[in-house]
Amino acid sequence: MSADSIAAAASAAGRGEGALAIVLHTHMPYVEGFGTWPFGEEWLWEAMVGSYLPLLEVLDQGAPLTLSLTPVLCDQLEAPGAMERFYEFVRNVRRWTHAEDAAGLRAGGEDRLALELERAWDEYERALASLDKRGGNMLSAFSKHAQWTSSATHAVLPLLASDACTTLQLASGIASHRRRFGEGWRGGFWLPECAYEPWLGPLLESAGVAAVCVELTARYGLGAPEHLHPVETEAGVVLVPIDRETIARVWSPEGYPSAGVYRDYHHHTIHHHKPWSNDGSPYDHARACALAAEHAADFVAHAKARLAHGGLAVCALDTELLGHWWYEGVHWLGEVVRECERQGVRLVRLDDALAEIEPVKAPADYSGWPASSWGEGGDLSTWSAPNVAELTFAARAAELELLADRHAAGVAATRELLALQASDWAFMISRELAGPYPRARFDGHLAAFAAARADRAGAQPPRNLAVDADLGALLSA
């Protein structure tokens, strides 16, 4: 990308102004109905309490944030009985565990820790009240904010074995979004793990995708101006670089969540409640929220400096980082929205920004770009390294087996294949998260795929996963 093309893009970006877009990638592995404590659907319920319902309070106030919802998360929120089990979990399980741990701490002379657990329980009650006022329907509450979608089961698309199954992932995910949220979709598509390779461009364009986010830090370097300017490919799909320079203020080993006064995610009581700060002292919520406000001001000041010469800075974050992992994260986000107004930083929804920006053309060497992602090293190794390669090869072998007999694929086998292709299992194994759970889940779907192939007539699809799987896309590709 030349200096002249960058300058042209900057002048076209909102009357020469820079703009900040915060993109929230909202995703949960398919855990609904697959295990409870310590691994399973409890993750979903905790994300609802800590991340999703507090985030809705910010979105409902009109915050111009970009919300991406994965179809697999929506499958779970839509699953029969899911919300009833959420209410049961909070009212009975969490009410009891907070009381038990608080009593144990108080008996041991830890009154401040016990008081913190009692304060924290109030947030669970507020979550129930928040869902109640939204009619008890989490998916419906998200509907007016849903903008971007993703592939059917969060597959790392460059690792799939065929155009046909890539098209299946794309078509099914988009059909899911349109069925749930209407025809107002503007073509924004979250590439799972930001995994991209140029051969995907024509398939994305054919599916109706207008724009995707990509990670190009390994190509251009941290803080390079190229990260502030969308790129139009030959296929017509716009690549929107995420700005690691901005993201790193939050999401890095030295990012805001590591501060001593914030709540420690890793140090917990018997029932996994967290009354300590990162510095080891009893958690002080008021002190932590005050620091979150300071960090919001710092973040916006940094973004303002980053955008001094125009352009579009995209700060893409996992929604679950905010509130669930970084306890104060949603409070910080609300303060960021307010700080943007105070400091005169233009905060925009990504679709709106792209409607007014003329992207630069892809450089001459674009077709030779290697695969990239926001995973370790900026490549695909998180999902293809030796410790997880067996999963990748097994999923590809299943894909090719299905394609060899695609006209007799069957709904159950197809949906089990989509479950195998989810990025989550290899990610958790690579990061040594959740013990044996991810491998057991992968092996279970692989066995169910084989059973469905052997008995197409009697096989049952996997719960509520990939309910919009588009067999027509598979057959016509």
The DSSP bridge pattern shows strands 146-150 and 231-232 to be: unpaired
Amino acid present at 380: L
The phi, psi pair for 126, rounded to 5°, reads -65, -35
Q: Which of 318, 352, 358, 376 is catalytic?
A: 318
Alpha-carbon distance values, 48 to 89, 121, 139, 415 (Å): 12, 14, 11, 26
Closest CA to 215 of 38, 345, 390, 373: 373
Residue 298 among the catalytic residues: no
**Rounded Cα distance, 332 and 257, in Å:** 10
Q: Is the dihedral of CA 402, 406, 412, 416 positive or negative?
A: positive
Amino acid present at 136: G
Amino acid present at 421: Q
Q: Which of 32, 193, 215, 470 is catalytic?
A: 193
The DSSP letter of residue 14 is: S
Residue 379 among the catalytic residues: no
**Cβ-based neighbours of 451, under 8 Å, separated by 6 or more:** 459
Closest CA to 189 of 211, 173, 167: 211
- The radius of gyration of the chain's CA atoms, rounded to the nearest angstrom, is 22
Amino acid present at 169: Q
Active centre residues (catalytic)? 193, 318
